[in-house]
Amino acid sequence: MSSPWSRHATTERPDAPEYDDPADDAPADAGVAGDAPTGSGAPTNGHHRANGHTRPAGPDAAEASPAAGNGHVLDEGEMAAAFARPADGSPTDAAPRARPREQAGAREPSVALAGAFGRPEGTPDTLQRPAESTRPRPEHEAQDLWAGETTERDPWRDPAAAAELGAPAVREREPGPDRRAVGPRLSARELLFGRRVAPSALIVLAVIALLVGAVGGVVGHLTAAGSDALVDPGASLAQVDPGKERPAGSVADVAGRVVPAVVSIEVRSGTTGGTGSGVVIDPRGDIVTNNHVVSLAATDPRATLEAVFASGMRATARIVGRDPQTDIAVVKVDVANPVVAQLGRSSDLKVGDGVIAIGSPLGLAGTVTTGIVSSLRRPVRLDAESANANPVIDAIQTDAAINPGNSGGALVDSTGAVVGINTAIRTLGGTDSSGQGGSIGLGFAIPIDDVRVIAQSLIQTGGFAHTDLGVNAKSVTDGTADGAQILNVVQGGPAARAGVLEGDVVTRVDDRPIASADELTVAIREHRPGETVTLGVVRGGRPLSLQAQL
């Protein structure tokens, strides 16, 4: 008996590979139904191959099962028991049935077929759907054939599961950690002497190391040779004579001609001493300088006095004469054919003229600084060497840098002629002729016209006689005019003979205005003894003119 349900169950069972595959044992030359000879084991119903099984021929063939084989003929009861539904018609309540294979004693399928069509290992081998949950189901919840609380959806039982090629639809295990064993590490001793590495490999390694070292040595040698090539003892640079602007009167031209005539003067007495500058004024070796530079040598018998020339030559110097009233002194050295400075005329100077100061500030011989004439006939009172001294100069003011050690040096004009002897500077604390302060752009020099007269007198006689009016005065002002008020008059002096009284205010000496007591002093010293000067005085508010013979 062959029913539609039996054919459906046979062809749609997921575990169909468990049945004998007609293709497993078919001969290679088996044909289709009706082509094989009778009794050869070929199918006789035109639907299946017999895998070597025989079916009865004749009238009983219609009553035999399509799946019968091995010479066994199933009757209708056996067919129903093998393929019919259970009595109640429910597949979930049916008890497991013996497969036709087990009843017929069929052999197991091949391993290849079982792996290709069989169920995965560990999955339930049943077509029954899972038992219904005891949980009350809401009315709106769909009656899913495969719903269940404890059973996951199985693609082998899900009618909606898609068919695809590949591995079975089961969860794959994640790869575990690499647990490959790590072998022991080789020490240097085992590597060289433990015979763990072939000797030939060690030899090759040694050769490679030697080659690397040789290449490094060659590269180092080439690098060193290349660096040595940077130095060429025979190389010479091309010399070019550029056109330098050093015309006559330039600072470089003036310095080149005057510096050799300026010397550095050093005074030592035990552990004390000082330095200054001087200017060679004649070929006999006479040098003019400041009195305060050589005063230590003049008062201390143990002191030594030396002149150091620009060439570095040293010569012992002796004091010829000095004038504390004007801070001028002359010393002499025994030097053959010294370079002599050219003396100019300070009376020709104008404010704004360029000047150059040359000396040895702070012992730095041959130092040259430049500036201009800031003012002329500036009365400057210097530090007194003694109580009887009244050092006042009618100075040239300049902004050329003058510092300690410049005292006695030369102040020259643009032609290189000496127009003054640097003497003092003005500091924030006052006028400094001892060289203890620093330059703030206010330097003072003795006019060379006065220096020439005094130096010549010192060389000829060893001293110099100054003119004196015979008065003591102080600086005064009434708000509109300045002058020198007479404090006392020396009896029998030039002022007393001229009729000057105490309280008179001197405002003019000849054509020169007098604005202070120091200016009165320098104005009188401009004249020589025996000369007559005209004094403009104010007495009781009335101007007077008096004649005084010096």
Q: Which two tokens stand for residue 43?
A: 């199918």
Residue 461 belongs to what H/E stretch? helix 448-461
Work out the number of other CB atoms within 10 angstroms of the CB of residue 449. Answer: 18
Long-range contacts of 24-28 (CB under 8 A, 24+ apart): 24/51, 24/109, 24/110, 24/113, 25/51, 25/52, 26/51
- Bridge partners of 491, per DSSP, are none
- Bridge partners of 306, per DSSP, are 266, 316
**Distance separating alpha carbons of residues 132 and 150, to the nearest angstrom:** 10
Q: What are phi and psi of 419, to 5 degrees?
A: -115, -5
504 and 537 Cβ atoms separated by less than 8 Å:
yes
Residue 463 to residues 317, 343, 386, 388, Cα–Cα distance (Å):
18, 21, 17, 16
Half-sphere exposure of 201 (CA within 13 A, CB side): 7
Q: Could you tell me the end-to-end alpha-carbon distance of the chain, in angstroms, rounded to an integer? A: 179
Written as one string, the DSSP assignment of 275-300 is: EEEEEE-STT-EEEEEHHHHHHHHH-
Q: Which residues are catalytic?
A: 292, 327, 407
Q: What are phi and psi of 36, to 5 degrees?
A: -80, 150
